[in-house]
A and B are shown apart, each in its own frame.
Chain A
């Protein structure tokens, strides 16, 4: 069975991930610092008396909830190492090994993704719950179970979309040899377009509408907006459909670019 092969890859990569337990704790410390800065920033903005009408009707509570959840999802949905890893595997010829294995490279990377997201989840859930607990008086709790269900589905889609966008960019290494500069640029741009710096609701309507037709908001803004009930069921359906279409487009693009890249790789040997 093909699936069992990928399950085995997952098991091995899970062990590999756990070898670096310490890594997670240190990363977490570094992750929490920007969140603290964000929260302080918004506290100051609301503290000086900016009215919520000027901030797209976001109350302090809403802004705080968005900031904490957005920060958490930014860390959780995006695999920061993926782009660099795939890119260096192409550049250094490590993919040769995969070309000779009876499994596909893309699916192998999906297996890695699933395991390292699981490990991330386990590592991140406690610290972020602690953060939420600290702000429990201001944090907005959603009490409807159905929303949680949709929220979780949206997160899974977010992980996959983020993965495919990064994978696609990494495949550019077949042509560009070095995508490190692209990496720095794309990571910050994508985070911005996904709503990682501030909620996309602050954007003018035309920019918001335009963005919602790109894959980026579905990496972060969309799930958070669902949790915060910023969207009615009709809107969720509408945007959910767009997200699904993007998943298909990105899958096809990844397949095409991979095929052409490997052809080039095989022709030049790099």
Chain B
């Protein structure tokens, strides 16, 4: 067992202030403390080499959990064990085995080339020179930034910088990589490259990856195991397929006819119909699927039909739909 989290609770105390100017003035003298439970009794364990994605809305407790696992903040209750270390103690042996990348925080020297930051990392983490060279070449090659490492970081695009952030945090070969919104603000192409890289890296080096992201695609293409967090609680934990299976008794069908078909003419028994610009998106219960598809095919000449399982996006919508 690499990471073990048991009954962890995290409460934040925040100053609450009454509204308006009056409240602000009052707040100067006495402040009421309000406790907010960001993480509520979460337990899970993660094995070496697993790739886990945290899914949840803003303020669900994802980042708080990542911060506790990396030792930046202490849990209020419960225990966390990461390779037999208590992260909150921030022991050197622990720090050398983990890496945290936050999409909105930089670890690079802004005015210097990325190479300078890499080289400093080499010294700080006691990486042997030969290993360093090998790893740097491997990482810069697979992220396609080998030609950019001499350029000052401030002149890099956001996507290029994020790749450098990943390199600087992987140079010392950490056993676990924590990622908090690694693709935030990136264009689609950069997002795709980073996802692909993370997936391959995890496969090849068996580095455990824990990531949060608002982009489901990030998590879908990188992680095999998903944890759904809602209001500080872990509401689902399982493999991607399991979760899709569990939540989708439906099949999704996109259909477009050559002639005009009115929505009223579609067969009965379809769970939901969403008219699109040039066709319909239908959700059909698995059990009635065969009959309904036959009826749909008989209704007219089909221009396009696309049948697929429920995507993770639909599942998430379903899980959080009731919020």
Q: Are A16 and B12 in contact (CB under 8 A)?
A: no
- A: number of interface residues (CB 8 Å): 22
Closest to A263 in B: B74
Closest to B123 in A: A8
Q: Are A102 and B72 in contact (CB under 8 A)?
A: no
Expressed in whole angstroms, the Cα–Cα distance for A268 and B64 within the complex equals: 10
**Interface mask (A51-81 → B, CB under 8 Å = 1, otherwise 0):** 0000000000000000000000000000000
Cβ of A209 under 8 Å from chain B: no
Cβ of B90 under 8 Å from chain A: yes
Cβ of B182 under 8 Å from chain A: no
Cβ of B73 under 8 Å from chain A: yes
What residues of B have a CB within 8 angstroms of the CB of A12 in the complex?
Answer: 109, 112, 116-117, 119-120
Q: Are A99 and B96 in contact (CB under 8 A)?
A: no
Segment of A89-97, A127-135, A166-174, A245-253 engaged in the interface with chain B: A89-97
Q: Are B72 and A5 in contact (CB under 8 A)?
A: no
Expressed in whole angstroms, the Cα–Cα distance for A99 and B116 within the complex equals: 20
Which label, helix, strand, loop or mixed, suits the secondary structure of the A interface? helix
Q: Are B111 and A5 in contact (CB under 8 A)?
A: no
Q: Are A102 and B92 in contact (CB under 8 A)?
A: yes
Expressed in whole angstroms, the Cα–Cα distance for A100 and B105 within the complex equals: 13
Q: Are B112 and A269 in contact (CB under 8 A)?
A: no
Q: Are A97 and B107 in contact (CB under 8 A)?
A: yes
Expressed in whole angstroms, the Cα–Cα distance for A103 and B120 within the complex equals: 12
In chain B, positions 11-39 with a C-beta closer than 8 Å to chain A are 12-14
**Interface mask (B59-93 → A, CB under 8 Å = 1, otherwise 0):** 00000100100111110000000000000101010
What residues of A have a CB within 8 angstroms of the CB of B92 in the complex?
Answer: 102
What residues of A have a CB within 8 angstroms of the CB of B125 in the complex?
Answer: 102
Expressed in whole angstroms, the Cα–Cα distance for A100 and B97 within the complex equals: 10
Cβ of A176 under 8 Å from chain B: no
Cβ of A50 under 8 Å from chain B: no
Expressed in whole angstroms, the Cα–Cα distance for A20 and B154 within the complex equals: 14
Closest to B113 in A: A15
Cβ of A144 under 8 Å from chain B: no
Cβ of B100 under 8 Å from chain A: yes
Cβ of B314 under 8 Å from chain A: no
Closest to B122 in A: A8
Q: Are A94 and B120 in contact (CB under 8 A)?
A: no
Expressed in whole angstroms, the Cα–Cα distance for A12 and B123 within the complex equals: 11
Expressed in whole angstroms, the Cα–Cα distance for A267 and B13 within the complex equals: 9
Closest to A20 in B: B111
Q: Are B96 and A100 in contact (CB under 8 A)?
A: no
Closest to B102 in A: A96
With contacts A15-B112, A16-B111, A269-B12 known, is A97 near B105, CB below 8 A?
yes
With contacts A5-B124, A8-B124, A269-B67 known, is A99 near B111, CB below 8 A?
no
Expressed in whole angstroms, the Cα–Cα distance for A9 and B125 within the complex equals: 12
Cβ of B98 under 8 Å from chain A: yes
Cβ of A26 under 8 Å from chain B: no
Closest to A96 in B: B72
With contacts A19-B112, A94-B105 known, is A100 near B100, CB below 8 A?
yes
Cβ of B196 under 8 Å from chain A: no
Q: Are A16 and B124 in contact (CB under 8 A)?
A: no
Cβ of A101 under 8 Å from chain B: yes
Closest to A267 in B: B74
Cβ of A4 under 8 Å from chain B: yes
Quote the shortest CB–CB distance from A7 to chain B (angstroms): 8
Cβ of A180 under 8 Å from chain B: no
Q: Are B120 and A266 in contact (CB under 8 A)?
A: no
Cβ of B240 under 8 Å from chain A: no
Quote the shortest CB–CB distance from A258 to chain B (angstroms): 13
**Interface mask (B116-157 → A, CB under 8 Å = 1, otherwise 0):** 110110011100000000000000000000000000000000
What residues of B have a CB within 8 angstroms of the CB of A102 in the complex?
Answer: 92, 95-96, 124-125
* B interface residue numbers (CB < 8 A to A): 12-14, 64, 67, 70-74, 88, 90, 92, 95-96, 98, 100, 102, 105, 107, 109, 111-112, 116-117, 119-120, 123-125
Sort A-B residue pairs by CB-CB distance and give the 4 closest, nearest first: A8-B123, A19-B111, A269-B73, A266-B73
Q: What are 19 A-to-B residue pairs whose CB atoms are below 8 Å?
A: A4-B123, A9-B124, A12-B117, A12-B119, A15-B116, A16-B112, A93-B105, A97-B107, A100-B90, A102-B96, A102-B125, A103-B124, A266-B74, A267-B13, A267-B73, A268-B12, A268-B14, A268-B73, A269-B12
* A interface residue numbers (CB < 8 A to B): 4-5, 8-9, 12, 15-16, 19-20, 93-94, 96-97, 99-103, 266-269
Question: Contacts A97-B107, A99-B71 given; 20 further ones with Cβ under 8 A?
Answer: A5-B124, A8-B119, A15-B112, A15-B116, A16-B112, A19-B111, A20-B111, A96-B72, A96-B100, A97-B105, A100-B90, A101-B124, A102-B92, A266-B72, A266-B73, A266-B74, A268-B13, A268-B73, A269-B67, A269-B72
